[in-house]
Structure 1
Amino acid sequence: MADRRDRPYLRHRPDDRAEEREDRLTSVTESNPDIEISRRRLLGTVGAAGAAGLALGATGGALVHSAFDDSPAGAAGASGSLASLGATHVAFEGEHQAGITTPLQAKGHVLAFDLAPGAGRKEAAALMRRWSDTARLLMAGKPSSGADSGIALDAGPSSLTITFGFGHSFFERTGLASRRPTALDPLPDFSADRLDPQRSNGDLWVQIGADDGLVAFHALRALQKEAGEAARVRWQMNGFNRSPGATAAPMTARNLMGQIDGTGNPKPAQPDFDKRVFVPAAGPGPAEHAWMGGGSYAVVRRIRMLLDDWDKQSLAQQEQVIGRTKATGAPLTGGTETTKMALDKIGPDGKPVIASNAHARISAPEQNGGAAMLRRPFSFHDGIAADGTPDAGLLFICWQADPLRGFVPVQRKLDRGDALSVFIRHESSGLYAVPPGPRDGEYVGQRLLEG
């Protein structure tokens, strides 16, 4: 079998007449600039879309330290045609679930469900089968199996991914406590946390991402309806990222603080990438935990950015807090965005050029025993609060083979003295075991629920 990294994640609907239609569409629009192009017609113009690097964000506090080439589905110049964005298709089946190493989408929904009172393993298995059947259809750009709402009519799959996970409480509810991995033990308390328990944790976790807002919302509604009487929504959050084609060429995205956000994540080409992100198929744990082989653990944090306070800082002050230049993301010690930080470099004032409490220094893997995680966030903006401040920030999601070796040590260190901490607030938190990708005809979590 070919290595996972050698397989494309985005697939395209074949269309031998795509080039002819694109020429005709260009001719029509040039001669009739006011003409309205229908969504169906536009999506028929399938260009050669590129999976140009993963757009990945920051840790639960590490808002800058990450690292794939950050262009959700490639800029217009890279993909050839924005019409191709609707045609991109991410496979539901695979070694790992979609939505982990898939290029980051422009729109997202993150939500958790609790099983209904009296629901147990049987009901959970039936729900996961329904959800998996629905996800398989929607990710292929097809209507859901039930009474489809029609929200996404005429749209292609638009890189839709639907990812499922299980929270700590799921295992008691289903009588599977003996099969709950130790890596799913609750996260420790952090002094900077201001967590809302109603927006934290949950039995079941769902991540939805797409390059079209209606496609993402369609999936959200379909899954909510499929939950039926078996589960109820505990919390739900909406997010966004830079739209494909927003920049002239693929580049790392910026977060809502204006900082380049996506410079130091582990890369798939690195030999230890899988070891850091995915649970080994035959790990050292007990046999009853083998169902997680090929899966990953997701830490989910809602991080409010105190943007009014941040914007009051001068450019120089902001760069000192982060340890990187705002314009290019290069370390203050010089070079380009990807240049390694010279953490021992001393300035004319006799102090480190990158301050001891700079965010980039504290969150760097070399400062945390090599601890690393794959960060894949969405930004959020939930309106203006009564005091006039924006309720905005980061829906941080990070992936790792073991959160006790990935997220926890980095967050503990950030919690003790990160200069960025006075400008952010952690408002909700969750940890979820995300099973491996399903085989053909299998539902997500089947190896746990029927094993």
Structure 2
Amino acid sequence: MSDTQQNDLARKDGKDSEADHGTDHGTGAAPAGVSRRRLLGTASAVGAAGLAVGAAGGAAASAAGRHEPASVTALTTVGTDTVAFHGAHQPGITTPLQARGHLVAFDLAPGAGRKEASALLRRWSASARALMAGEPAAGHDTGVALDAGPSSLTVTFGFGRTFFDRTGLTGRRPSALDPLPPFSSDHLDARRSDGDLWIQVGANDALVAFHALRTLQKDAGAAARVRWQMNGFNRTPGATAHPMTARNLMGQLDGTANPKPSEPDFDRRLFVPPTPTAGPAADSTASEDTAWMAGGSYAVVRRIRMLLDSWEQLSLHHQEQVIGRRKADGAPLTGGTEGTALGLDTVGPDGKLVIPGNAHARISAPEANGGAAMLRRPFSFHDGIGPDGTPDAGLLFVCWQADPLKGFVPVQRKLDRGDALSAYIRHEASGLFAVPGGAREGEYVGQRLLEA
């Protein structure tokens, strides 16, 4: 994401967090009601906390100033940041990128159907709501994240195409969940693709993210089993002098051209609108059957292996020609800053396009795809060294849009036909999931689908 988008989202989420959870960003004090994650201090812990706060650029309030025992120290702002579970949209979509992420897909167990799925989503929602507020998981908390704050934890739930077959809800399956078309660059592993249910866990602390993942896996019980799991990471908040677009493992800024919340069509591109129930805008019964997706979005998930050994042999000039942007700051090769529009028609002294015709930035640009856009929100991954001695590393690509047939598909089709970056990446797994709108107070995620 761009600087502007990260800042917009941070301000938006920050306001929500302060309003809903009482976070004191001025002092770094933990939100009221956080009983599980109090950082118990010793002399060495206080010193470590001071270093952490200094690195983050914040200041913790003293325990004495809050009339608390001297042995209790405040969490840093990274720990206290909270994202609301309830809302019009699920968390983890427009939330600023987190340092740690887990993507996991489940298949319902043999014999499990709509009743079991409803009970499972109820359990998952209850756990997600508690953990995101910094509270223990009901009944079986492992204590893994005992000393940490919520750390911007988000949990996002989605349904795969097969979920509707397993639960007898095929009549309510959106057409937007039709299978993605094949692409010539695909080398997909079916065992690591698709799934009945999908969860995205994100947090700015690795133990907090693992704790949530483990809790949800245990909550599944006999109702569902893990189909695949992928683990990712991003830069830690505060690791750069100012908020900036994340870099991927190729060293490139990734997410520069993302739609921005300040743009008037941002919500229209990302979220499914309410279904009209009357009047000329109303559709057929089919639209009523998918009204449960109002406020939701569609996530395309791709495991993209980066052929880093080949990429790193390229000169800086060649890398920038492949991407179409300067590596140092993400600015177009035609000049300006990261946010400057691409000069797609600019020609150099040699009479050639400054941004090559097959450059990734040119081919994927919304202006080159009829305005097609999606919000890219990825994690990097590194799963060790493969049998051939090359790193098994790359991008856990997650993109969000109101309709994948108008967002991901047309852009990927165009990339598939001539993207210079294709020689250095390999798509190894894929999934498409319907992510319903956020749960209202007293609801669980997916309730409007499962109990209508």
TM range (shorter): 0.7 to 0.9
1:85-104 counterparts in 2 under 5 A? Answer: 85-104=78-97
Amino acid at match of 1:145: A
Deviations 1:181-229 (CA, angstroms, capped at 9, x unpaired): 0001110000100000000000000000000000000001000000000
Once the two structures are superposed, the pairs formed by residues 293-372 of structure 1 within 5 Å of their partners are 293-372=294-373
Residue of structure 1 aligned with 2:119, choices 111, 115, 126: 126
* Structure 1 range deviating more: 281-290 or 403-412: 281-290
- Give the structure-2-normalised TM-score: 0.86
Q: Is the 8 A contact 1:121 1:174 kept in 2?
A: yes
SS at the partner of 1:397? strand
1:35 deviates by 5.0
Indicate yes or no: 2:56 matched with 1:76.
yes
What is the aligned counterpart of 2:239 among 240, 246, 251?
A: 246
Deviates more, 1:251-260 or 1:156-165: 251-260
Answering whether residue 219 of structure 2 is matched by residue 219 of structure 1, we say no
Give the drift of 1:262: 2.2
Query: Is the 1:106–1:212 contact (alpha carbons within 8 Å) kept by the matching residues of 2?
Result: yes
d(CA) in 2 for partners of 1:19, 1:117: 48
Q: Which residue of 2 aligns with 1:188?
A: 181
- Could you say if the C-alpha distance between residues 358 and 107 of structure 1 is closer, same or farther in structure 2, counting changes exceeding 3 Å? same
CA contact (8 A) 1:321 1:419 kept: yes
AA paired with 2:44? E
Counterparts of 1:310 and 1:318 in 2: how far apart (Å)? 8
Maintained 8 Å contact 2:360/2:421:
yes
Separation in structure 2 between the aligned mates of residue 332 and residue 9 of structure 1, nearest angstrom: 38
What are the ranges of 5 or more consecutive residues in structure 2 without an aligned counterpart?
Answer: 1-8, 31-41, 61-74, 277-282
C-alpha spacing 1:345/1:173, structure 2 compared with 1 (3 Å): same
Q: How many residue pairs were aligned?
A: 406
Q: Give the match's secondary structure for 1:133.
A: helix
After TM superposition, the runs of 4+ consecutive aligned structure 1 residues lying more than 3 A away are: 4-7, 9-21, 79-82
Q: Which one-letter code corresponds to 1:312 in the other structure?
A: Q
The structural deviation recorded for 1:15 is 6.0
Deviations 1:352-396 (A, max 9, x none): 010000000000000000000011000000001122111000000
Structure 1: which amino acid aligns with 2:195?
G
Greater shift, 384-393 or 124-133, is seen at 384-393
Q: Helix, strand or coil: the match of 1:366?
A: helix
Equivalent position to 1:10, from 5, 13, 17: 17
Q: Which residue of 1 aligns with 2:64?
A: none
Instruction: Give the secondary-structure state (helix, strand or coil) at the position aligned to 1:206.
Output: strand
Alpha-carbon separation, structure 2, partners of 1:189 and 1:18: 52
Give the superposition deviation at 1:80.
5.6
C-alpha displacement of 1:76:
2.7
**CA deviation map 1:144-187 (0-9, x unaligned):** 00221110001110100000000000000000000000001110
Q: 1:340 and 1:365 mapped to 2: Cα distance? A: 11
State the alpha-carbon separation in 2 of the partners of residues 19 and 322 from structure 1: 40
Rounded Cα–Cα distance in structure 1 between residues aligned with 2:335 and 2:297: 35
Q: Residues 414 and 36 from structure 1, CA distance in 2 versus in 1: closer, same or farther, beyond 3 angstroms?
A: same
**C-alpha spacing 1:333/1:446, structure 2 compared with 1 (3 Å):** same
Equivalent residue, structure 1, for 2:105: 112
SS of the residue corresponding to residue 90 of structure 1 reads coil
- Contact 2:28-2:59 at 8 Å conserved across structures: no
Matched, 1:174 2:167: yes
Corresponding residue number in structure 2 for 1:154: 147
Residue identity (%): 71
Query: Is 1:424 matched up with 2:425?
Result: yes
What value does the CA root-mean-square deviation take over the aligned residues? Answer: 2.4
- SS at 1:251 equivalent: coil
Whole-Å separation in 1 of the counterparts to 2:25 and 2:405: 50
Match of 2:379 in 1: 378
Residue matched to 2:253: 260
Deviations for 1:271-327, whole angstroms, at most 9, x for unmatched residues?
Answer: 100000000012556211100000000000000000000000001000000001111
Q: How many Å separate the matches in 2 of 1:118 and 1:16?
A: 48
Contact 2:28 2:76 in 1 (8 A): no
1:55 corresponds in structure 2 to: none
Q: Determine helix, strand or coil for the equivalent of 1:286.
A: helix
Matching residue's letter, 2:56:
A
Q: Helix, strand or coil for the counterpart of 1:195? A: coil
Which one-letter code corresponds to 1:371 in the other structure? A
Do 1:109 and 1:220's aligned partners in 2 also have CA atoms closer than 8 Å? yes
Please tell me whether the aligned partners of residues 23 and 81 of structure 2 are also in contact (alpha carbons under 8 angstroms).
Answer: no
Pick the aligned partner of 2:44 from 29, 36, 44.
36
Which residue does the alignment assign to 1:204? Answer: 197
Equivalent pair of 1:76/1:248 in contact (CA under 8 Å)? no
CA distance in 2, matches of 1:348, 1:15: 56
| Amino acid aligned to 2:296 | G
- Return the alpha-carbon distance in structure 2 between the equivalents of residues 345 and 134 of structure 1: 53
